[in-house]
Structure formats: C-alpha cells, structure tokens
Amino acid sequence: MRPDRFNLVAGSGSSARSGWKDCLPLFRQGMVPLLAILGGLAGVAILTQGLNQLDLIVDQRQSALAFIWVTLLSMPQLISLIMPLAVFFAVTYAVNRMHTESEIAVAFAAGVSPWQIVSPILKLASVAALAHLAVNVLIQPASYREMRETVHAMRSDFAASLVRAGEFTTPADGLTFYAREVGAGGVLRDLFIDDRRNTNRPTTYTARFGLIRKTPAGIPAVVMQQGQIQQPKPDGSVDLLDFDQYTLELGAFVSAEDDYVLKPSDRFLAELFFPDLIYYYDQRNADRFLAEGHHRLSSPLLDPALALIALAGLLAGDFSRRGYGQRIAVAAAAALTVRIFALGIQAACVDEPALNPLQYVFPLAVSVVAFWMLQAPRKPAQGPAAAGLTMAR
C-alpha cells in the first residue's frame, strides 16, 4: 500500500533497489532540463552582459573574438546567480511531466516509496550545489581576474584609442592624429599629427610610416620614418625639417590608464576573508569582502532549498486531475522570493557584518520548511490514476 504521508523512509531489500532502478530516470529527467535551462538563462544573461562590453569594439577597436572572450569570462558569476532558479525550474519540469504522464501514480501503485521519488531529485540538487560551490570558490574568481586584466589591457591599448584608419581623432587636447591606413603589425601609413599644445608655436608632423611604441621609461611615443616637421614662424614663413626617423613622446599630454584594483568578485576566499589592510581600498571594503566571502559559501545551499520548494509544490497535498498550474505558480513565486531575499540579506551584510550568519541560516530554514511541507498528508487520487492505485491495493 502506498503511504499516505511523505515520511521519507526508504524501503529496504530488493524492493528498494528495484524502486531505485525505476526512479533512476527521474535523475536524468531532471539533469537534462537543468542543463538546458541553465544554458538558456546563461545565454540571456551573457547577451545582457555583452552590451556593457560593446565599447571594446566601438571605442577600443578590439576584435569580435576579444569581445566574445571577455563575455565568456563573465559567465561563471552569471551561472552562480541563476543556478538555484535553474534547479527549481528543472525539478518542476521533471516532476510535473511525470505527473502529467501518470508515472508518479503508477510508481506509487507499484509500491515505490515517496523517498524513492524524492531521493533522485535531492541527489540532482546536491550535484548542482557542489558544482555551484566549485564555481563560486575557484572558477569565478579566476575567470573574473582574467577578465579584469584583459579589459584593462584593452582599455590601456594606447594605439587602439589613438588611431582610427582614415579618420581624424583627438585623443587629447591640442592633439589631432590621422593615419590613412593601419597595416600589419600596427604600422601606420601616411601619418599626420598636429600638435597645438603651444598655441604660439604649433607643430605639424607628417610621415610615410609610423609605429606606436613605449619608451624604456614606459612613456607612449610615435616613432615616425621618412617625414617632415613644420613649424610656422611669426613672420609667416614656415620652418621645415626633413627626417629619416623621429620619435615624438606623447606621455606629457596623454594621461596613462590607472592600475586596476581587484573587486570582490575577482578575489579568492582567502583574499576576501583576510584582505591586506595596508591598502586603503581593502580597509574601506573589508565588510563588503566579508559579505561576498560568506555569500560564495552559502549560496549553493539555495539549490537544494529551491528543489525542495518545487517538490513540496508538486508532491505535497492532494492529487489533482486538473493539473498543477496553480501550485507551480505559487511555488515559482516562493522560489523567486527566496532568491531575491537571499540577495537582500547579502546586501544587508555589507552594512552590518553581524548578519552574515543569516546567509547560511536562511536557505537552511527554507529547506526545513519545504521538507516539513513535503510530509503533508495526501488524499487518495481520483479518476483513472486512483483506479490503478485501488487495484494495486
């Protein structure tokens, strides 16, 4: 006889092993939609994130491959953000599908215990939580650090910001730059530079070839070949100087890009929990680092919590012949509320570090409540499924 309560006590002996074999497809039925939903949500998030990096192509003239690489490096944090909801929707899809096809009713009629239905789902949520933890602790900080370095290098690419083939650019006050063509290796052809820093004595440089390099002191400079320098004189004449090679340093009037700092998302756990307080940035953001560190460790607990919410919504309470749309809507609202509330707790912990234990207590409390709801009494099914259950009894 099928138990009337979800007491979550597994069967024993060969019947338990047989039930597990029967319910093993449930793990696969949950894993496939989990990967699909996770991929879909990550794709949408990546497209949104990619819009923030379009200036790498528009302003910094980086290649599409560089843009794609930077966007992919942001993916681990996006996966961490959406993983709990992906688990919820995957479990909801798998269990509702089994309800729709009467597989759960048939399984109960065959003597499968409630635990044998719930167990594969909890195993799936546990696998997701472990993957989530690995992303938070190892993959995200490594990828974000690489992304930060890559973006910084792109934005610090002086040649990319200075030169646009066939266009006049003004990268700094008093400087106009033009190159007809940018060839292989960054070689500039038909170069024109107008330097009007000194309005009383403007200088114009022209050259057949040029190359942007940094001096040994790290100052950006233009190395010009086969060119001419023109300087107007007060009497209206022009001083002309031909040269085979001339180096024009640009650092005096072009500000260098400041070094970047590692944000909380870029740091590993040790750097979050034990920041180097000799730096002002670390001193000012110590509480933020602490909240981020606890969030990295606690957020995977949301995966089984939201899986239990989905199970409670679809397996607890009475059987329904009219579908479970209303229950799914309520469970989805609850799952979304839990996810938002968890993010709110993390934000509150930045201002009040004493609240950090709530980042662990909250998902555990949600799991306990959903676990308790899962044990709610169920009324016998009505209709064809009920007939099967009655015959089994």
Residues 124, 223 within the same domain: no
Q: Cα–Cα distance between 363 and 290 in angstroms, integer?
A: 18
Q: What is the pLDDT of residues 337-373, one digit of tens each?
A: 999 999 999 999 999 999 999 999 999 999 999 999 8
**Chosen domain end from 249, 281, 297:** 249
What pLDDT, on a 0 to 100 scale, did the predictor assign at position 13? 41
Provide the pLDDT confidence category of residue 15 given band limits of 50, 70 and 90. Answer: very low
Higher pLDDT pick, 301 / 3:
301
Query: Does 256 have pLDDT greater than 50?
Result: no
Q: Which long-range contacts (CB under 8 A, 24 or more apart) does 152-160 make?
A: 152/257, 152/259, 152/260, 154/56, 154/60, 154/62, 154/66, 154/70, 155/56, 155/60, 155/257, 156/256, 156/257, 157/60, 157/62, 158/212, 158/220, 158/250, 158/254, 159/186, 159/212, 160/60, 160/61, 160/62
User: Which of 24-38, 172-186, 229-243, 264-278 tops mean pLDDT?
Assistant: 264-278
- What is the extent of the structural domain holding 187? 163-249
> What is d(CA 41, CA 78) in angstroms, rounded to the nearest whole number?
9
| Percent over 90 (pLDDT), the chain | 36
Together in a domain, 291 and 151: yes
Amino acid at 343: L
Exposure letters 318-330 (e unless 16+ CB within 10 A, then b): ebeeeebeebbee
- Is residue 271, in this structure, part of any structural domain at all? yes
Burial of 60 (0-12, 13-18, 19+ CB in 10 A): middle
Q: Are residues 282 and 351 in the same domain?
A: yes
Do 67 and 206 share a domain, yes or no?
no
Residue 3 lies in a domain: no
Quick check: is 237 in a domain? yes
* CA-wise closest residue to 61 among 172, 164, 184: 164
Claim to verify: residue 151 and residue 179 sit in the same structural domain: no
When mean pLDDT is compared across 10-14, 299-303, 314-318, the lowest value belongs to 10-14
Do 42 and 24 lie in one domain? The reply is: yes
User: What confidence score (pLDDT) does residue 49 get?
Assistant: 64
In a domain, 57, yes or no: yes
- The three-state secondary structure class of 224 is strand
Is the residue at 43 inside a domain?
Answer: yes
Q: Please give the pLDDT value at position 386.
A: 43
How does DSSP assign 234-295, residue by residue? Answer: TTS-EEEEEEEEEEEE-TTTSPPPPPP---GGG--HHHHHS--TTSHHHHHTHHHHHHHHHH
Angle at the Cα of 391 from the Cα atoms of 385 and 393, rounded to 5 degrees: 105
Residues 143, 75 contacting (CB under 8 angstroms) = yes
| pLDDT, mean of residues 297-319 | 89
Same domain, yes or no, for 113 and 78?
Answer: yes
* pLDDT value, residue 374: 84
Residues 27 and 127 in one domain: yes
Q: Where does 52-191 have alpha helices with state H?
A: 55-58, 64-73, 75-100, 103-109, 114-134, 140-155, 158-162
Contacts of 20 (CB under 8 A, 6+ apart): 116, 119
* Tally of domains within the chain: 2
Q: Please report whether residue 231 resides in a domain.
A: yes
Q: Do 139 and 269 have their domain in common?
A: yes
- Over 70: is that where the pLDDT of 96 sits? yes
Q: What DSSP line would sit under 302-323, residue for residue?
A: HHHHHHHHHHHHHHSS---SS-
Could you tell me if 311 and 317 are in contact, meaning their C-beta atoms sit under 8 angstroms apart? Answer: no
pLDDT at 164: 74
Do 206 and 134 fall into the same domain?
no
Give the model's confidence band at 228: pLDDT under 50 very low, under 70 low, under 90 confident, else very high.
Answer: very high
Average pLDDT rounded to a whole number, residues 20-46: 71
Better-scored residue on pLDDT, 76 or 47: 76
132 plus 39 within the same structural domain: yes
Residues 169 and 145 in one domain: no
* Boundary (domain end) residue, out of 199, 226, 249: 249
Domain end: 249, 270, 288, which one?
Answer: 249
Confidence of residue 317 (pLDDT cuts 50, 70, 90): low
Lowest mean pLDDT among 187-196, 247-256, 259-268, 333-342: 247-256
5 part of a folded domain:
no
377 in any annotated domain = yes
